[in-house]
Chain A
């Protein structure tokens, strides 16, 4: 397997050489450009086969070879992902995520299309530190940035930029963008399964063996499943997790806190308006919800068994103060957040 790329390369080079020499001998200008472009395509195909995901890594030299120094119309389009290694640490840009999505798109495109249509679109990436000239050539000054260079584009700056919205939904939306601009079909995105078949089989066997022992243990009734304290802990945790609105935070991908717009040094932990909440806010209120109930439960079921009167008094006092404060705090926060004016309906003569 390992030999085949090199073998292929030598074959390709050989045929290229042959065809080039042949064409040169005929000296027809039209076929000359034809051969030149087919040349470029084969070279691109070679470069593509070199990379594992099918994404060609560009540098200033390759850019000039395939883009700036070629005549239009080119027989291929290039979809270029602009990358910067030193920005990978900035998670809010999602550069790495987007790059993996981009590679997925590339590999899916190559596997879904036959050779003729697969050679009309190539997926490339380019790194900022390596090829700063190309970045300025394209006029790219912010990331993430993806550009489609169509066959007729002369000046790289005229090439089409993918909107923020087009790569927000990952490979599928990038595919839509490509399909709408190039009249090519990408086909379904082939995401690699989380586990390979071997791993699944291995895990299955382990599970089977474990199940044997587990059932045996189950019959003797001394597993962690028989420990009620664990169940209690789990139940209270699920309760805490849900009432704090953590599911909202996960589904909407809410941050834990925001930075105040007016004063960047200040952090905003509580968001006013009932339709939204921040992560930290939810967990804070969730723990207030939970702590009161837990204290009440402890007082009614554990504290009564304590024999020391003073200890009872102290614990109860603390519990009462904390509960009172927590309830007041939640009521106050709720009124502030939602703006509802909850009021009682007293008889009018009372006021």
Chain B
């Protein structure tokens, strides 16, 4: 009897152990499989961003990345301490700029560390190469972080789907192609990773993850000004949890350390400093910090008192607490209201009140990144994900957990902000990927199940077997989470939990009964799967197209296709910067409009007067005034700033529309804002900006016109401007105070030298001038040969 019993027991043991091994094997297989999928996703994220390198070359893009590149160079050469104390005298001459205290150092430090690591492994990559590939590498990291985050919310399948969607979402590609070395490149990874760690802490209640979360937040603060989104979103979620009765000790552990450690760490970043406690963007987190402590106290007291005693205590505390609260809020409001902008920066205000910027801050409203997007922008930037997001939202509500409520809150706030500013589409894109990943994964789950269990070949046994396995797995999961809950939850809340647990178990039983019925008709499921796959395929096609065609141009090298299909490359910018670096003295000052400041310092290594960090309006206005003054006055202004060379960008010959003549009205406006003798109407004929024969005399005599169109008539004999589509107004004129020293191949950049102050020996200068003009004559063969830096 006893023997039989033991045998039975052992048999049952054996069976269960066999089942267990089968399950572990399947789990292990699944883990390895998803590991390889993740690896492939990383490779996909990296390689889809290489179009810019393949189509153009490995080069840093646009304007701001050049500054970041230069800072990184400095860091790798001089080390972190010198970087921290770096006073840059090559820019904003004669003021200079404190770089260490005015940049977000995250990107620079990341790329610098990467470079140092590679070099210590004896992989001799140049700083430039590391900078070019930082963004693609971090996109791979970002898609892995998305996997982790979505896995915490809805499981592995959703995680993998979300990761693959994020790897190629166009909105993110636009900011992270190879060469686009800007803050957002690393910041999006930091953003997602911070959210992941927050959710992880919320699910586990572990202090270890809470600490990591604060560190990730620190990295985000180092990287991008967008960190304020995190420090407002997480408090919002905490408040939401409290209000909807989801408070738990896990929530406390996830939030309190983040605020304390995170704020302390954020204050360490020089560019943030005391802003971390002084500006209104951070006040929400402190307010919620107070609230969560009050709530924690209430829960604690509630656990220790009998219900009746608790009621008495509540009425007592609420009435006293409310008075105290009101007093504090009044003080806070008074504090905030005493500052002119109510403690909020203009950009944040324009997020809360979308019409604010257009009414009061034209500078913010004028930037194209800050415009509200139209519906095609969504289709361009997240493509078919726009269709899937609502399904993801529904899935997150069935059932609603702490984690899924967080992603819902994330997508709602992000989609609202993206509606106000097209730039914030970048923050919205990861949320859209997560939601769409969840939606797609749930849909595939249901549809494939419907096919699997209803295929004509499949027998009932396998069906029941599978379902039982499924439910078993589910039950296991539930048991696991419960155990987790139990360990995590404090004793006081246990009482409540007991009550909660029973319905959960009941629900699982019910789901086991129902699961057998949870299928859709076979043929409809097949069609639906085909359509979903087609939708996915369309997404892939769109993303590859966007990466290859729309977002890969580096804007420092331009290309056009000729009618015969040949490729024509315009490399004038680098030609000009190289000329500057080879033919001018190291300490010469070069004046240009601020757009080209970063590039000039980074590529030509010459001192500039103004650059893209537009911190000093007066200085910019001075340059604007010089450009809009007649030659003599301009010469005096430039000479007083020790300027040796003036650089203008001119697109009239090849039809490059974003040249200085098209930006000229902004120079007049900004100059006129500080120096009232520059008046915009003087440059306009009947309110119209024109450079043809109808142009005003002021326009035709200003420095910008002269430097742009000097000798332009020699190119085609008619002086036809291809950007403005007209013949210019004044064709033949001479320069008295400036001399042309270099004009690039396509005339896109023209460099002039200020003539020496005392201009007595006329004959000599004339001779040298004629020589100079022959050097840069439109005959290209001549330019090629005489090019002084060949």
Distance of A330 Cα from B375 Cα, bound (Å): 10
A215 to B393, CA, bound (A): 28
User: A310's closest neighbor in chain B, by CB?
Assistant: B521
Q: Is the CB of A290 within 8 A of B418?
A: no
Please report which residues of chain A, range 274-326, place their CB below 8 angstroms from some CB of chain B when the two chains form the complex.
274-277, 281-282, 285-286, 289-290, 292-294, 296-301, 303-305, 307, 309, 312-313, 316-317, 320, 323-324, 326
The answer to whether residues A293 and B387 also contact, given A235-B408, A344-B541 and a CB cut-off of 8 A, is yes
**Chain B positions within 8 Å of A65 at CB level:** none
The answer to whether A241 has its CB under 8 Å from any CB of chain B is yes
Which chain B positions have C-beta within 8 A of A276? 374
Q: Does A226 reach chain B (CB closer than 8 Å)?
A: yes
Bound CA–CA A289/B391 (angstroms): 11
Option from B322, B374, B389, B535 in Cβ contact (under 8 Å) with A277: B374
Q: List, in ascending order, chain A residues with CB within 8 A of B446's CB.
A: 299-300, 304
Residues of B within 8 A of A294 (CB): 390-391, 394
Q: Which of A225, A296, A338 has the most CB of B within 10 A?
A: A296
CB contact between B374 and one of A235, A275, A297, A307 (< 8 Å): that residue: A275
Q: Does any Cβ of A come within 8 Å of B531's Cβ?
A: yes
Q: Which of A247, A290, A317, A320 has the most CB of B within 10 A?
A: A247
Chain A residues near B416: list those with CB within 8 A.
238, 241-242
Contact with A along B382-414 (1 / 0, CB 8 A): 001011111111110110100000001001100
Question: A337 at the A/B interface (Cβ < 8 Å)?
Answer: yes
Find out whether the CB atom of B375 lies under 8 angstroms from the CB atom of A244: yes
CA distance A218 to B520 in the complex (A): 40
Which B298-335 residues sit within 8 Å CB-CB of chain A?
314, 318, 322, 326
Most buried by A among B314, B374, B419, B519: B374
Asked if B528 and A243 make an inter-chain contact with CB atoms under 8 angstroms apart, the answer reads no
Q: Which residues from chain A contact B243 at a C-beta distance below 8 Å?
A: 218, 225
Interface residue B169 (Cβ < 8 Å from any Cβ of A) = no
Segment with Cβ contacts to B, from A25-33, A184-192, A248-256: A248-256
Q: Does B372 reach chain A (CB closer than 8 Å)?
A: yes
A274 partner, pick from B318, B376, B387, beta carbons under 8 A? B376
With both beta carbons as reference points, the residue of chain A lying nearest to B409 in the complex is identified as: A235
Decide: B439 and A296 in contact? CB cutoff 8 A: yes
Which of A243, A286, A320, A326 lies at the interface centre, i.e. has the most chain B CB atoms within 10 A of its CB?
A: A243
Given the known inter-chain contacts A211-B322, A313-B521, A316-B520, please indicate yes or no for A344 contacting B545, CB distance below 8 A. yes
Closest Cβ of chain A: how far from B670's Cβ, in Å?
Answer: 19
Is A148 part of the contact surface with B, judged by Cβ < 8 Å? no
Number of A interface residues at 8 Å Cβ cutoff, please give it.
72
Q: B527 contacts the other chain (Cβ, under 8 Å)?
A: yes
Taken together as a complex, chains A and B put the C-alpha atoms of A340 and B542 apart, in Å, by 11
- A contact residues around B1 at 8 Å (CB): none
Most chain A beta-carbon neighbours within 10 Å: one of B318, B372, B535 = B372
Given contacts A243-B386, A275-B374, A327-B535, contact A300 B395 (CB under 8 A): yes
Alpha-carbon distance between A277 and B419 when the two chains are bound, in angstroms: 13
Is B377's CB within 8 Å of the partner chain A? Answer: yes
Partner of A245, one of B373, B392, B443: B373
A2 at the B interface (CB under 8 A): no
Tell me the bound Cα distance from A52 to B616 in angstroms.
Answer: 46
Q: How far is the CA of A327 from the CA of B398 in the complex (A)?
A: 25
Chain A residue at minimal CB-CB distance from B408: A235
A277, B375: Cβ atoms closer than 8 Å = yes
B153 interface residue per 8 A CB criterion: no
Which residue of B has the minimal Cβ distance to A246? B419
Question: Measured between alpha carbons, how far is A320 from B534 in the docked complex, in Å?
Answer: 13
Question: Does A350 lie at the interface of the complex (its beta carbon under 8 Å from any beta carbon of B)?
Answer: no
Q: Can you name the residue of chain B whose Cβ is closest to the Cβ of A317? A: B524
Question: Would you call B355 and A292 a contact (CB within 8 A)?
Answer: no
Q: Judging by beta carbons under 8 Å apart, are B411 and A239 in contact?
A: yes
Does B393 lie within 8 Å of A309, measured CB to CB? no
Main SS of the interface on chain A?
helix
Q: Are B318 and A301 in contact, CB atoms less than 8 angstroms apart?
A: no
For residue A214, which residue of chain B has the nearest CB?
B243
Size of chain B's interface in residues, with CB distance under 8 A?
68
**Complex Cα spacing A281 to B375, Å:** 9
Enumerate A166-225 residues with CB–CB distance to B below 8 Å.
Answer: 208, 211-212, 215-216, 218-219, 221, 225
Q: Does B420 contact A (CB under 8 A)?
A: yes
Closest chain A CB from B129 CB (angstroms): 26
Does A93 count as interface, using CB distance less than 8 angstroms? no
Do B520 and A312 have beta carbons less than 8 Å apart? Answer: yes
CB <8 Å contact, A293 and B439: yes
A301 CB contact (under 8 Å) in B372, B442, B535, B538: B442
Contact A285 B439 (CB under 8 A): no
Residues of A within 8 A of B375 (CB): 243-245, 277, 281-282, 285-286, 289
Cβ-defined contact, A312 with B521, below 8 A: yes
User: Which of A239, A303, A305, A316 lies in contact with B412, CB distance below 8 A?
Assistant: A239
B378 interface residue, CB < 8 Å from A?
yes
Asked whether any CB of chain B lies closer than 8 Å to the CB of A1, the reply is: no
The answer, yes or no, to whether A17 is at the interface (CB within 8 Å) is: no
**Judging by beta carbons under 8 Å apart, are B393 and A297 in contact?**
yes
Q: Which residues of B contact A300 (CB under 8 A)?
A: 391, 395, 439, 442-443, 445-447
**Cβ-neighbour of A293 out of B314, B377, B391 (below 8 A):** B391
Within 8 A of A (CB), among B407-434: 408, 411-412, 415-416, 418-420
Contacts of B548 in A (CB 8 A): 345
Contacts of B390 in A (CB 8 A): 236, 239, 289-290, 292-294, 296-297
Q: Are B354 and A251 in contact (CB under 8 A)?
A: yes
User: Which of B379, B411, B519, B538 makes the CB contact (< 8 A) with A304?
Assistant: B519
Per-residue B-contact encoding for A148-174, CB less than 8 Å = 1, 0 else? 000000000000000000000000000
Residues of B contacting A218 with CB < 8 Å? 243, 245
Residues of A within 8 A of B355 (CB): 250-251
- The contact of B415 among A239, A274, A296, A313, by CB within 8 Å, is A239
Please tell me if B380 contacts chain A, counting CB pairs below 8 Å. yes
Q: Decide if B564 is an interface residue (CB 8 Å cutoff).
A: no
**Alpha-carbon gap, A243 to B392, bound state (A):** 15
Contacts of A290 in B (CB 8 A): 390
Chain B residue at smallest Cβ distance from A313: B521
Q: Is B358 an interface position by the 8 A CB rule?
A: yes
Which B residues touch A7, using CB under 8 A?
none
Residue interface mask B507-546, A partner, CB < 8 A = 1: 0000000100111110010011001000100100110111
With beta carbons under 8 angstroms apart, the residue of B372, B388, B531 that contacts A248 is B372
Nearest CB of A to B474, in Å: 15
A60: interface (CB < 8 Å): no
Give Cα A241 to B413, complex, Å.
12
Contacts A241-B419, A251-B354 given; indicate if A289 touches B378 (C-beta within 8 A).
Answer: yes
* Contact across chains for A330 and B400 when beta carbons are under 8 A apart: no
Q: If the complex has contacts A235-B412, A242-B418, are A345 and B544 also in contact, measured as CB distance less than 8 A? A: yes
A252 and B373 CA atoms in complex are apart in Å by: 11
Does A342 lie at the interface of the complex (its beta carbon under 8 Å from any beta carbon of B)? yes
Residue of B379, B408, B531, B550 ringed by the most chain A CB atoms within 10 A: B379
Partner of B387, one of A219, A248, A292: A292
B779 CB to nearest chain A CB (Å): 38
Find out whether the CB atom of A238 lies under 8 angstroms from the CB atom of B528: no
B244 within 8 A of A: yes
- A–B complex contacts, Cβ < 8 Å, 19 sampled: A231-B408, A232-B394, A235-B412, A236-B390, A238-B412, A243-B386, A245-B375, A247-B419, A248-B371, A251-B355, A289-B386, A293-B389, A293-B390, A294-B390, A296-B391, A298-B394, A303-B520, A342-B545, A345-B548
**Which 8 pairs, one residue from A and one from B, show the smallest C-beta to C-beta distance?**
A293-B390, A297-B394, A242-B419, A297-B391, A296-B391, A247-B419, A292-B387, A248-B372
Binding site for A on B (CB under 8 A): 243-245, 314, 318, 322, 326, 354-355, 358, 371-380, 384, 386-395, 397-398, 400, 408, 411-412, 415-416, 418-420, 439, 442-443, 445-447, 450, 514, 517-521, 524, 527-528, 531, 535, 538, 541-542, 544-546, 548, 550
**7 extra interchain contacts, Cβ-Cβ under 8 A, other than A225-B244, A226-B244, A234-B412?**
A208-B322, A245-B374, A245-B375, A251-B355, A277-B374, A293-B390, A324-B531
